[in-house]
Chain A
Amino acid sequence: MAEMNLTLKIWRQDGPNDPGGFKSYTVNGLNTHMSFLEMLDVLNEKLVNTGDEPVAFDHDCREGICGMCSMVINGRPHGPLEGTTTCQLHMRHFNDGDTVTIEPWRAKPFPILKDLIVDRTPFDRIIQAGGFVSVNTGSAPDGNAIPIGKEISDEAFDAAACIGCGACVAACKNASASLFVAAKISQLALLPQGQPEREERVVGMVKQMDDEGFGHCTNTGACEAECPKEISVDYIRKMNWEFHRANVKG
């Protein structure tokens, strides 16, 4: 277990209206088995012990599934490792003596609330605009009434694996939310249960995405590259196709 010391350059911002700026910290006595967030815990405990305010960051499950954690590490959302959330990143991927820069998601629709914490409620509103099947409790037919081929179901699952963290938006130079929106639209468009509301859904969700101020997709693929769940940009093509199909059908 190698010991390591790091210099951290962390974005500190007291509230939405504070201009904010970077502050440098040194943390010593770290080790390679720690997770990235445990490394920040060490810093925070040190700050508390000296009466300073700890760095605020979002996190909860620390297992790569809740989508809370959200940091840009050395310029990349969730850091250097492909297919990995910040909480799943371990210090063995850094070297003793490194300087590590840590910033919040940067995107207009996600205003900074404090330090590394941003407001991602636009994602909730996009789902509210159609990311569901309208079925009331108690009115469902038997689970096996409609067979769904394994391949279709697996493909729907691949899209449904999105954790809604917003890394796609943070990675995109236009702050587009297309990957997030496309994943939900594709999941439901693939499944028989999603058919009755298929057109309404894509139209409603795309409109909400635009209303929230997310930018347009210019196919750079940065979102897929940074997505911790490796959701494919093919779903964006599928969303575009669904959108045109819905408009043609009127």
Chain B
Amino acid sequence: MLNSRIPDGPLAEKWTKYKSKVPLVSPANKRRLDVIVIGTGLAGASAASSMAEMGYNVKTFCFQDSPRRAHSIAAQGGINAAKNYQNDGDSVYRLFYDTIKGGDYRSREANVHRLAEVSSNIIDQCVAQGVPFAREYGGTLDNRSFGGVQVSRTFYARGQTGQQLLLGAYSALSRQIAKGNVTMYNRHEMLDIVVIDGKARGVIVRNLITGEYERHFGHAVVLATGGYGNVFYLSTNAMGSNVTAAWKAYKKGAMFGNPCFTQIHPTCIPVSGEYQSKLTLMSESLRNDGRIWVPNKKGDDRRPLDIPEDERDYYLERRYPAFGNLVPRDVASRAAKERCDTGFGVGPTKLAVYLDFKDAIKRLGQDVVSARYGNLFEMYEKITGDDPYTTPMRIYPAVHYTMGGLWVDYNLMTTVPGLFAIGECNFSDHGANRLGASALMQGLADGYFVLPYTIGEYLSNDIRTPTIPTDHEEFDKAEKDARDRNDRLLNNDGSRSVESLHRDLGHIMWENCGMARNEINLTSAISEIQSLKRDFWDKVSVPGRDDVLNPELEKAGRVADFIELGELMVRDALDRRESCGGHFREESQTEEGEAKRDDENFTFSSAWEYTGEETEPTRNKEELTFDTVQLTQRSYK
């Protein structure tokens, strides 16, 4: 039933051939076609501006006060591209291979190869927009290396790569807004998708300032709404990042791919107390020069500086001599958890390990270290009050990214015709684990170079569809559902804050569906989440009104969706009785405690289908075939 629409032909030629054959939409027809883009992060802003340049009428929406503030802005470390500027043997094939392997063989070869192919163009595009990437003294672009790979292919702009790339995409979007090709709606939240005769034809949004519900028609709808890491309450995602748009799409028939594939990032500032509202990432690039260790005696309470060299356990270097501190994220995170669980953790909560720059400062000098990481060190000091130049950082893994998302075919279209998903909100390219600096690459690849082509295949068949008036009954129905739900939240007269319910959900998810998962815990998590869902609707209290700015109401709607998503994630984790990438099933590990895949039974992507409020969802399979890469157990030893 699932058709991934992978073009025929040899892997390396699929995309080129596809582009030369994909039906085109003439300029005159493009002007008659309306495309809705929800989200203005890297994926949404790049897609909206590119499609507007091509001539489509584009409407874009974001819930922040400006498109420039999307969560993408916070990405620190960098963006990958197979430029081979460093002449260290990089190539499209190597980037493709690293991504497939890093994802633990749970992604689609054809999509990943295309990603690697267009990666180079992204850098060119961004440079042309005036993105100030780091440069060498000779004036050429500089690169650094990132976890899980052995070449230097990461482009960066100090520790603010996401900011600079997003401001580039935002500038392109601003240019199209000024030209009238894009209409931008800030502080608008999408609350439902409108499906007419089986095709996505519009959205219901709420103007967050006035509280008004609006209807917008589109010949196609593109979701670029980011990831759902905040289902764990604490994550490195921005506070507003949410699953609502993707979740509504799921309930309207778009299948959800691999929902349990979550990335836990190894280098974040540890939790310090119950009041904590979010976690802060310390860029992975720190692992290039920092060394990770714990004391080799359990419960050693000495200050790190008082622990002599021979009483330290540089456990990543010990366990993985080939990659050392640069093993992929999932491996580094689990290794930290293992040390802390067995009693070697440090700091007041004992849920932390050291990331030490002493040797780097000795080797490179403080100036070089400060040029590379100065702003990250500053950020660390602001939050913790400690100075990383003189005392090692304390770090611990935290939820960071979701590889799962709406299932899409080669065209980036979901199982609802006319509904597309790009960037972190789709499930596509990273399999069970994403490599560092590859999310920015994927978001911009989807938005600048893939979707603007592939959407043409759908729209070329839609040029005769006239604008559907928004008084159509499907619009009526979708708007009514959205209103009713908000009314119910506001009139609930309960006793519990949204925040406290969200915290409870996060706790259930982290304990049972976090870094290590097993059948018993997952099974009980399902009933815990179901009872939390009942509690939510019985007890939630949302003050204020519907016809004004009401951030508490926005949050309530998002948390209600997170609770439902949480259950689906747990079901998916339960269903996948193998370990792969970020999904670690305790029942499936090697003697050394490494993740063990089960290729015979699980070489597929799961695509979950909504079947109604009262019935269990159905799991469909997209079998993954590997024609080019040979499946092996990942080894970073």
A138-B121, A141-B124 known; A60-B238 Cβ under 8 A: yes
Residues of B within 8 Å of A64, CB to CB, are: 379, 382
- A48 adjacent to B552 (CB under 8 Å): yes
Residues of B within 8 Å of A235, CB to CB, are: none
Q: How many Å lie between the Cα of A117 and that of B136 in the bound state?
A: 42
B139 contacts the other chain (CB 8 A): yes
- A45 adjacent to B141 (CB under 8 Å): no
Q: Which of A152-160, A169-177, A240-248 contacts B (4 or more CB under 8 A)?
A: A152-160
B67, B71, B379: which contacts A60 (Cβ < 8 A)? B71
Measured CB to CB, the nearest residue on chain B to A32 is: B385
A30-44 residues at the B interface, CB under 8 angstroms: 31, 33-35, 37-38, 41-42, 44
A218 contacts the other chain (CB 8 A): no
A48-B543, A120-B66, A124-B174 known; A132-B129 Cβ under 8 A: yes
Q: How many Å lie between the Cα of A137 and that of B171 in the bound state?
A: 12
Could you mark each residue 156-184 of chain A with 1 if its beta carbon is under 8 Å from any beta carbon of chain B, else 0?
11001101100000000000000000000
Residues of B within 8 Å of A164, CB to CB, are: 66, 68-69
Nearest-Cβ distance from residue B372 to partner chain A, whole angstroms: 13
Interface centre among A44, A67, A123, A137 (most CB of B within 10 A): A137
A42-B275, A140-B124 known; A62-B68 Cβ under 8 A: no
Q: How many Å lie between the Cα of A55 and that of B544 in the bound state?
A: 11
A33-B272, A128-B177, A137-B452 known; A144-B140 Cβ under 8 A: yes
Q: Which of A4-12, A96-104, A186-194, A209-217 contacts B (4 or more CB under 8 A)?
A: A186-194
Q: How many Å lie between the Cα of A163 and that of B280 in the bound state?
A: 18
Q: Which of B158-166, B214-222, B303-311 contacts A (4 or more CB under 8 A)?
A: B158-166
Residues of B within 8 Å of A66, CB to CB, are: 64, 69, 71, 73-74, 238
Q: How many Å lie between the Cα of A63 and that of B278 in the bound state?
A: 9
- A142 adjacent to B175 (CB under 8 Å): no
Residues of B within 8 Å of A136, CB to CB, are: 50, 53
B157-213 residues at the A interface, CB under 8 angstroms: 157-158, 160, 162-164, 167, 170-172, 174-175, 177-178, 184, 186, 209
B387 contacts the other chain (CB 8 A): no
By size class, the interface of chain B is 35 or more
- A60 adjacent to B240 (CB under 8 Å): yes
Nearest-Cβ distance from residue B379 to partner chain A, whole angstroms: 7
B184, B277, B448, B495: which contacts A137 (Cβ < 8 A)? B448
- B379 adjacent to A127 (CB under 8 Å): no
Could you mark each residue 435-474 of chain B with 1 if its beta carbon is under 8 Å from any beta carbon of chain A, else 0?
0000000000000110010000000000000000000000
Could you mark each residue 98-113 of chain B with 1 if its beta carbon is under 8 Å from any beta carbon of chain A, else 0?
0000000000000000
Residues of A within 8 Å of B548, CB to CB, are: 14-15, 114
B64, B141, B157, B175: which contacts A68 (Cβ < 8 A)? B64
B128 contacts the other chain (CB 8 A): yes
Residues of B within 8 Å of A124, CB to CB, are: 66-68, 174, 177, 184, 186
Q: How many Å lie between the Cα of A45 and that of B277 in the bound state?
A: 12
Residues of A within 8 Å of B127, CB to CB, are: 140, 143, 146, 193
A48-B543, A147-B139 known; A160-B132 Cβ under 8 A: yes
Residues of A within 8 Å of B272, CB to CB, are: 33
Residues of A within 8 Å of B452, CB to CB, are: 137
Q: How many Å lie between the Cα of A31 and that of B273 in the bound state?
A: 10
Residues of A within 8 Å of B520, CB to CB, are: none
A66-B73, A140-B121 known; A45-B128 Cβ under 8 A: no
Residues of A within 8 Å of B167, CB to CB, are: 160
Residues of A within 8 Å of B543, CB to CB, are: 47-48, 51-54
A119 contacts the other chain (CB 8 A): yes
Nearest-Cβ distance from residue A247 to partner chain B, whole angstroms: 22
Residues of B within 8 Å of A144, CB to CB, are: 85, 140-141
A59, A127, A137: which contacts B53 (Cβ < 8 A)? A137
- A148 adjacent to B135 (CB under 8 Å): yes
A84 contacts the other chain (CB 8 A): yes
B383 contacts the other chain (CB 8 A): yes
B359 contacts the other chain (CB 8 A): no
Measured CB to CB, the nearest residue on chain B to A162 is: B167
Q: How many Å lie between the Cα of A163 and that of B64 in the bound state?
A: 14
- A63 adjacent to B74 (CB under 8 Å): yes
By size class, the interface of chain A is 35 or more
- B124 adjacent to A127 (CB under 8 Å): no
Residues of B within 8 Å of A222, CB to CB, are: none
Residues of B within 8 Å of A194, CB to CB, are: 130
Residues of B within 8 Å of A51, CB to CB, are: 541, 543
Residues of B within 8 Å of A119, CB to CB, are: 65
Residues of B within 8 Å of A156, CB to CB, are: 130, 132
A92 contacts the other chain (CB 8 A): yes
B49, B136, B209, B238: which contacts A113 (Cβ < 8 A)? B209
Q: How many Å lie between the Cα of A216 and that of B416 in the bound state?
A: 53
A73 contacts the other chain (CB 8 A): no
A88 contacts the other chain (CB 8 A): yes
A56-B551, A153-B132, A153-B133 known; A120-B140 Cβ under 8 A: no
Residues of A within 8 Å of B448, CB to CB, are: 137-138
- B132 adjacent to A187 (CB under 8 Å): yes
Q: How many Å lie between the Cα of A131 and that of B19 in the bound state?
A: 32
- A132 adjacent to B171 (CB under 8 Å): yes
Measured CB to CB, the nearest residue on chain A to B384 is: A33
Q: How many Å lie between the Cα of A191 and that of B135 in the bound state?
A: 13
B549 contacts the other chain (CB 8 A): yes
Residues in B lying within 8 Å of A, measured CB to CB:
46, 49-50, 53, 64-69, 71, 73-74, 83, 85, 121, 123-130, 132-141, 157-158, 160, 162-164, 167, 170-172, 174-175, 177-178, 184, 186, 209, 238-240, 272-273, 275-278, 280, 379, 382-383, 385, 448-449, 452, 495, 497-500, 541, 543-544, 548-552
A-B pairs, 7 with minimum CB distance: A147-B139, A132-B171, A140-B128, A157-B132, A128-B178, A140-B124, A137-B50
Residues in A lying within 8 Å of B, measured CB to CB:
1, 14-15, 31, 33-35, 37-38, 41-42, 44-45, 47-49, 51-54, 56, 58-68, 84, 88, 90, 92, 113-114, 117, 119-121, 123-124, 127-129, 131-144, 146-150, 153-154, 156-157, 160-161, 163-164, 187-188, 191, 193-194
**Can you list 24 contacts pairing A with B, beta carbon distance less than 8 Å?**
A31-B275, A35-B277, A38-B275, A49-B495, A53-B543, A61-B74, A61-B239, A62-B238, A62-B239, A90-B385, A92-B385, A120-B66, A124-B67, A124-B174, A128-B174, A131-B171, A135-B172, A138-B125, A144-B140, A150-B135, A157-B158, A160-B157, A187-B132, A191-B132
Other A-B pairs, 20, CB within 8 Å; known A114-B549, A124-B67, A153-B132: A53-B552, A54-B551, A56-B549, A60-B240, A61-B238, A65-B160, A66-B64, A68-B65, A92-B385, A124-B177, A127-B174, A132-B171, A132-B172, A136-B50, A137-B452, A140-B128, A144-B85, A149-B137, A150-B137, A153-B135
